[in-house]
């Protein structure tokens, strides 16, 4: 009987982990698709991201329901409780990544109305590639319970901050050189800020995953290399 209970509990935890994986895969795909729609000026592709966000929300609701039911039914303790509560927190960050990708997609038409600076697409794309790699890596390292890898990944958010600072300065240069670029560059600035904030959510996921695996918290202070010192909040 006890063995049956343990097996059922493990299966339920496995279902929650699979939902985390599904949300991670969808989050990465949404970042890729939203960036591609932005660079290509593809409104139809952007609309797909908006639709995908509804699926991300549904995954989060399902995970929350399963986690709450598991806590109520199994009353897990210690490491098992950390795993369930941590999964709820990670799902919240993954859902927010989906929201930020959707925000990028929603600006595609607005950017398309202006003159998009040549060459800027390379900087945005490079930043998006960094972000997508972080999203993929944090889920993979959580799945294999790689605590050292999670700690390293959290520190690597600094690379995204550095890239964001470079994009920010480049956008300002384009706007100063030609006022006709201001509208498009302003929208692109919001998109870059969304990508930078996605990186922040990845570090949150890494911190929660690390705590699940080790039972220890990573240091509060983490590397932050955003030198823009400008409050730019996405919608």
The residue among 132, 116, 115 whose CA lies nearest residue 35 is: 132
Residue pair 132/32 in contact by the 8 Å Cβ criterion:
yes
Q: In this predicted model, what pLDDT tens digit does every residue of 6-31 receive, in sequence order?
A: 678 788 889 999 999 999 999 999 99
2-214 belongs to which homologous superfamily? Phosphate transport system protein phou homolog 2; domain 2 (1.20.58.220)
Say if pTM beats, i.e. exceeds, 0.85: yes
| Predicted pLDDT of residue 231 | 44
- The pLDDT assigned to 3 comes to 46
Burial group, residue 4, by CB count within 10 angstroms (0-12, 13-18, 19+): exposed
pLDDT in tens, 120-163: 778 888 999 999 999 999 999 999 999 999 999 999 999 999 99
- 193 contact partners, CB below 8 Å, separation of at least 6: 164, 232, 233, 234
pLDDT score recorded for residue 113:
58
pLDDT tens digits for range 49-69? 999 999 999 999 999 999 999
User: pLDDT per residue over 190-215, tens digit each?
Assistant: 999 999 999 999 999 999 999 999 99
Among the listed residues 34, 49, 201, the one whose alpha carbon sits nearest the alpha carbon of residue 128? 34
Q: Which residues of 73-102 are buried (b: 16+ CB within 10 A; e: fewer)?
A: ebebeeebebbbbbbbbbbbbbbbbbbbbb
How far apart are alpha carbons 81 and 163 in whole angstroms? 37
The string of pLDDT tens digits covering residues 68-127 is 999 998 888 888 899 999 999 999 999 999 999 999 999 888 776 554 556 677 888 899
**Looking at the predicted structure, is the pLDDT value of residue 225 above 50?**
yes
26-42 pLDDT, tens per residue?
999 999 999 999 888 88
Q: What is the pLDDT of residue 235?
A: 44
């Amino acid at each position: 009987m006890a063995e049956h209970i343990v097996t059922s509990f493990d299966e339920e935890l496995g279902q929650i982990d699979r939902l985390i994986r599904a949300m991670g895969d969808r989050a990465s795909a949404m970042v890729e698709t939203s960036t591609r729609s932005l660079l290509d000026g593809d409104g139809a592709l952007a609309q797909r991201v908006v639709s995908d966000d509804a699926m991300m929300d549904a995954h989060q609701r399902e995970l929350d329901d399963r986690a709450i039911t598991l806590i109520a039914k199994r009353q897990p303790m210690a490491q098992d409780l950390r795993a369930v509560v941590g999964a709820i927190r990670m799902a919240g960050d993954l859902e927010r990544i989906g929201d930020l990708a959707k925000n990028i997609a929603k600006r595609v038409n607005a950017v398309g109305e202006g003159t998009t600076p040549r060459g800027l697409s390379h900087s945005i794309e490079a930043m998006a590639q960094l972000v997508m790699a972080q999203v993929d890596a944090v889920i993979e390292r959580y799945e294999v319970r790689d605590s050292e890898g999670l700690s390293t990944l959290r520190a690597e958010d600094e690379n995204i901050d550095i890239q964001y600072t470079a994009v920010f300065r480049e956008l300002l240069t384009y706007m100063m050189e030609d006022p006709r670029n201001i509208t498009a560059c302003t929208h692109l600035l919001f998109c870059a800020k969304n990508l930078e904030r996605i990186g922040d959510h990845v570090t949150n996921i890494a911190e929660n995953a690390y705590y699940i695996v080790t039972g220890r918290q990573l240091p509060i202070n983490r590397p932050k290399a955003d030198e823009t010192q400008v409050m730019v909040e996405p919608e």
